[in-house]
Structure 1
């Protein structure tokens, strides 16, 4: 089973970014205001916390989640994301996130073939949870609208295709 030592520093940073990228692509596809942003952000963070607590979690997912709990790993991911998305518009964020997930897929398939499918499915679950976290197109405080917008559905499909799921 793969762990942090199976990857270069840059590859591990790509993996550390991947849960955030999975959520960011959805959020950028159909921004849903402050409350929606908060709900959608929480969905990705809770996936990391669940992976740490889940005894049945894939070993690579668990290794990443445990490493992400360190300030060093969070700083590496944050700094890399800042550089990647500096001065980006929402459409750019979505496109760059999906492309980065495509690169993560290649790294996983090459360096961790036994863990790749489970990790990619986990990223798709994060995207789905993010899409379902806040209603889209609603009125005051997000009441009404649809659970997952057409833009989010299309982005979920793009993410699945990028990850080869």
Structure 2
């Protein structure tokens, strides 16, 4: 099983940034509800501590407080965030089992979805706005780009 000890500090920071960065990409896609959406990141981490089962990698990730990179704009969040997600998956594909890679992708995408669903857009009947759905599609594509 792959865990934190299998990565350099720089590699671990890249992996640790992935899920909350995906949440930020979803959050920055649409205005409104940002407090609830920000809270959703913390909530999904807390729930993940209980749900992630035997995965040492995900266990180490959710036990380690995520560090967030600061971004200057929504465009920067998307461009840099999606690039970093691709890099994280490429790293995992070199060092982790296929199941661990899949678990990381699932967890990261789940964070983004739960953030997007944290509030109901005024102009949308659906819980997720078109902009947020677009962001989630980009996140999914980045996670599966390799």
Distance 2:110 2:43 in 1: 12
Corresponding residue pairs, total:
144
| Structure 1 contact 51–57 (Cα < 8 Å) conserved | no
Rg larger in 1 or in 2?
1
Aligned: 1:100 with 2:97: no
Which of 109, 113, 116 is 2:97 aligned to? Answer: 113
Deviation at 1:54, TM superposition (A): 2.8
Cα root mean square deviation, aligned:
1.9
TM-score, L = length of structure 1:
0.79
What is residue 71 of structure 1 aligned with on the other side? none
- 8 Å contact 1:29–1:91 — kept in the other structure? no
Match of 1:150 in 2: 130
Q: Which runs of 5+ in 1 are unaligned?
A: 69-73
Shift in Å at residue 65 of structure 1? 1.1
Q: Which SS does the other structure have where 1:14 is aligned?
A: helix
> Residues 128 and 94 from structure 1, CA distance in 2 versus in 1: closer, same or farther, beyond 3 angstroms?
same
| 1:47 counterpart = 2:51 | no
CA offsets per residue over residues 44-80 of structure 1, 9 Å max, x none? 1112111222362532111111122xxxxx5xx24xx
Q: Which residue of 2 aligns with 1:13?
A: 13
Q: Give secondary structure in 1 for the equivalent of 2:64.
A: helix
**Alignment counterpart, residue 66 of structure 1, candidates 57, 63, 67:** 63
Counting helix residues as a fraction of each chain, which structure ranks higher?
1
Q: In 1, are the aligned partners of 2:19 and 2:109 still within 8 Å (CA)? A: no
TM-score (norm 2): 0.89
Query: Per-residue displacement from partner, 1:90-135 (whole Å, max 9, x unpaired)?
Result: 1221222111111111111111133101111111111111111111
User: Superposition pairs for residues 73-92 of structure 1, below 5 Å?
Assistant: 74=66, 77-78=67-68, 81-82=69-70, 85=71, 88-92=72-76
